[in-house]
Chain A
Amino acid sequence: MKIRAIAINTFREAARNKVFYLLIVVGLVFVLSSRVVSLLVIGDRVQVLKDIGLAAINFFSVLIAIFTGINLVFKEIDKKTVYNILSKPISRHCFILGKFLGLAFTLLVALGSMMLVFSMFLLLAAGEFDWRLLIYFLLLYSELLIITAVSLVFSSFSTPILSSIFTIIVYLIGHVVWTFNEFKHRLVDPVVKIVAYVMYYILPNLEKYNIKDQLVMGESVRWNLVGYSLLYAALYISALLLLSVIIFNRREFQ
């Protein structure tokens, strides 16, 4: 119940944030503008339309996840509202979990509305509805939850600006970490090789949630890989939430 109350309040707070709406609207403008851009292309117009639409949804939902996530805990501490909450019989881990679930729901609404508009737009512009968009939605949502959990970790001990920088860096690393797997076979020095191995398996690998290639090219999506990706997200998010709880538990509020 306590977690639910915090989650609902977090959602309400996010929903009152004008930046949240601004990002959704700008994201939708970009999605719809894909039609105009696709007119500049010779051939493969529907593919370009999908590429730009999906990239816009991806980019703006990541921005929403980062910029809403970094304020989650910091704002409560900065405005000292955290004292009111924690003075009640609410444990710190309930607070963190509630905050995370609230933002998860916020992201679900934001991403869901963008995907809905994009699906309808695709139906009107290209005359097709691709049910695999739902898989893309699911995987992108998992990626966003990982990013939110990362931002929650940074937000629990750092300022919003630093948190956003750290989260963006983790997001970018998450999309290039697959190269470590390529490098490790070419490395000769065993120490460097071990470091590459460790980095590859420790850092969040977000590229697995990027199925735009398969989606746009009409290739089949492998269900077992989707399953592994969802399991990976669940484990990674749990680890990050636990880390946030540990950091938050150690903080002293005076």
Chain B
Amino acid sequence: MTTGKLPVAVLLLVVMAGFVQFSYDSQRGYFAERDVFLTLPTGKVLKVFSFGYHRLVADVLFIWSIQFYSSYHLVNRFDHIERIFNVITDLRPKFRAAYYIGSIIMALEAKDYQMAIRLLQKGSRNMSDEWVFDYEAAYYARKYLGDYRLAETYYRRALRNPSAPALIRRQMAHMVYLQDNLQEARKLWADIYQNSSSDLERNAAIHHLYQIKFELDKKMLETKIRRYRQHYGRNPINLNELRRTGLINEVPKDFSGQDYLYDLKTGTIQPRKSFKWKRFS
């Protein structure tokens, strides 16, 4: 081999070695060989030994984490994610982006919603003037955990902040509705309807009040229809028959003042407008 070709051969070998390393990492996972983050000191220790440069250390770790968690070929890159973001936020307790981005990575990529909520709650504790962390936690609780009670709790916490947008009040009222706490939900939506000056908000309140009233009336009416059937061996011909037989004092109307639709065959009632917010409604 001539001397001129040697550098090319070296370069080729190095590139090939790089590809082998890439495949190796993909197969074994980043942390399988490098347990660096098992020995990563806690935030408290790093704060002491960063000698006043703890903000810089947090920034460097955060920048690294963004690049690292974008390396999709590393299969087990999420192994120490909570520890890493805890260290970053211990070093900079008011690092808004770290809580926000960290929770997004935990929830949407690592699919660990509880972990994302834990990080967001840490953010909420350390930055009590921010509503966004509780709001995000509520979103994960509602959307991915289906835990409406937990979501309601976080929305209520977000609402303690005076700068929280009106949207959160609506979301919280909606969570109460989804838990089938219809009386409480009706109070909350009525309050929103009475005190809001926004058309959008009032419309949302009208829709909810319509649906809540329907669900309350449906529950009451269908109980009466069942009782009627037990007594007469058939469904009532219409809802007025319930009134005539003294089972109800008055036939309820929907929120807009119209009659409900009654199905004689099944003995069930339906609204004229349908809002399918509940999963099995």
B51 touches A176 (CB 8 A): yes
Q: Does A120 contact B (CB under 8 A)?
A: no
Q: Does B56 contact A (CB under 8 A)?
A: yes
B51 touches A172 (CB 8 A): yes
Q: Does A41 contact B (CB under 8 A)?
A: yes
**Among candidates B49, B96, B97, residue contacting A176 with C-beta atoms closer than 8 Å:** B49
Interface residues of B in 7-63 (CB under 8 A from A): 48-49, 51-53, 55-56, 59, 62-63
B55 touches A41 (CB 8 A): no
A41 touches B97 (CB 8 A): yes
Docked Cα-Cα span, A48 to B95, in Å, equals 10
Nearest CB of chain B from residue A50's CB, rounded to whole Å: 9
CB closest residue in chain B, given A41: B63
Nearest CB of chain A from residue B9's CB, rounded to whole Å: 35
- With A176-B48, A176-B51 already in contact, the answer to whether A55 and B96 are too (CB < 8 A) is no
A42 touches B101 (CB 8 A): yes
**Among candidates B53, B59, B94, B97, residue contacting A42 with C-beta atoms closer than 8 Å:** B97
Q: Which residues of A contact B262 (CB under 8 A)?
A: none
Q: Does B216 contact A (CB under 8 A)?
A: no
Could you mark each residue 93-104 of chain B with 1 if its beta carbon is under 8 Å from any beta carbon of chain A, else 0?
011110011000
Q: Which residues of A contact B67 (CB under 8 A)?
A: 40
Q: Which residues of B contact A40 (CB under 8 A)?
A: 63, 66-67
Q: Does A217 contact B (CB under 8 A)?
A: yes
- With A48-B59, A52-B59, A179-B48 already in contact, the answer to whether A43 and B101 are too (CB < 8 A) is yes
Q: Which residues of A contact B101 (CB under 8 A)?
A: 42-43
- With A43-B97, A44-B96 already in contact, the answer to whether A55 and B56 are too (CB < 8 A) is yes
Q: Which residues of B contact A58 (CB under 8 A)?
A: 52-53
**Among candidates B66, B94, B97, B100, residue contacting A217 with C-beta atoms closer than 8 Å:** B94
Q: A-B pairs with CB below 8 Å: how many?
A: 54
Count residues on chain B whose CB falls below 8 Å from chain A CBs. 19
B51 touches A41 (CB 8 A): no
Q: Which residues of B contact A213 (CB under 8 A)?
A: 55, 92, 94
- With A42-B97, A42-B101, A43-B101 already in contact, the answer to whether A206 and B52 are too (CB < 8 A) is yes
Q: Which residues of B contact A37 (CB under 8 A)?
A: 59, 63
Could you mark each residue 63-99 of chain B with 1 if its beta carbon is under 8 Å from any beta carbon of chain A, else 0?
1001100000000000000000000000010111100
**Among candidates A44, A179, A210, residue contacting B95 with C-beta atoms closer than 8 Å:** A44
- With A175-B51, A217-B94 already in contact, the answer to whether A41 and B56 are too (CB < 8 A) is no
Q: Which residues of B contact A171 (CB under 8 A)?
A: 51
Q: Does A228 contact B (CB under 8 A)?
A: no
Q: Which residues of A contact B100 (CB under 8 A)?
A: 43
Residue among B48, B51, B52, B63 with most chain A CB within 10 A: B52
Docked Cα-Cα span, A135 to B15, in Å, equals 51
**Among candidates B55, B62, B63, B66, residue contacting A216 with C-beta atoms closer than 8 Å:** B55
Nearest CB of chain B from residue A47's CB, rounded to whole Å: 8
CB closest residue in chain B, given A59: B53
**Among candidates B49, B51, B92, B96, residue contacting A43 with C-beta atoms closer than 8 Å:** B96
CB closest residue in chain A, given B64: A40
Docked Cα-Cα span, A37 to B56, in Å, equals 11
A52 touches B56 (CB 8 A): yes
Docked Cα-Cα span, A37 to B94, in Å, equals 20
A55 touches B55 (CB 8 A): yes
CB closest residue in chain B, given A213: B55
Interface residues of A in 51-66 (CB under 8 A from B): 51-52, 55, 58-59
Q: Does A4 contact B (CB under 8 A)?
A: no
**Among candidates A47, A52, A207, residue contacting B52 with C-beta atoms closer than 8 Å:** A207
Residue contacts A-B, CB under 8 angstroms, 20 given: A40-B63, A40-B67, A41-B66, A42-B66, A43-B100, A44-B97, A48-B59, A51-B55, A51-B56, A52-B59, A55-B53, A55-B55, A58-B52, A59-B53, A175-B51, A179-B48, A206-B52, A207-B52, A213-B92, A213-B94
B residues with CB within 8 A of A: 48-49, 51-53, 55-56, 59, 62-63, 66-67, 92, 94-97, 100-101
Give me the 3 closest cross-chain CB pairs, A-B, nearest first: A43-B97, A44-B97, A175-B51
